[in-house]
Structure 1
Amino acid sequence: MALVRRFHAWRGRSGRRYVVSAYEAGAAPDYAGVVALAVRRTPDGRLTMLGAVARDSEDVSLVANPAFARADEIHLHLLAENEADRAKVVRDLAGEAPLR
């Protein structure tokens, strides 16, 4: 059961799935080069994404973002290889028009 709560996959507007590692808010590693998702878990276990950001450098603070201040969990997508790919993931998950 612990692994079920540790890993998750979000589906973007494009239909593509993005695998993430889930952490309690405040316990996520401080990685650069990731897509970070602010997530709220309801009492019945459903997940709601509050926001998504590409963290391309350690200078980008998640705590300054209001969505992350309200999050119960932080989900990190580690597989986008560069800044452009991370921007595409954020746009896809946020429901915006995909970057080409």
Structure 2
Amino acid sequence: MASKKLIPATEAISRAKKNSLARKKRTANALMALCAQKIDEMIENGVVSVYVPMNEEQQYWGLPLVQEALEAAGYKVILEEDEQSETPDLVISIEHLK
């Protein structure tokens, strides 16, 4: 029977924070790539807004970082409930303000 190695609580908390931050960055990067793709489509099609569907992980972990970056780049980010979906997913509407 193998015994588990116990680590100090401060180290456990530190590891959890690092894992949480890494997850947040990975999710934000994936969401930002999706937003960039949708913005490119918006420009190609000559429309003023585009919807980017998100899952719960993207909404919780990625949206705060992505929303800040998009607004800094001059885009308006609006969250709307997706009435076509049975789940309470949100949609980002991006409108360029410049």
Same fold (TM over 0.5): no
Length-normalised TM-score, structure 2: 0.26
Query: Which is bigger in relative contact order (C-alpha 8 A, separation at least 6)?
Result: 1
Report the structure, 1 or 2, having the larger helix content: 2
Report the structure, 1 or 2, having the larger strand content: 1
Length-normalised TM-score, structure 1: 0.26
Specify the structure having the higher radius of gyration (Cα): 2
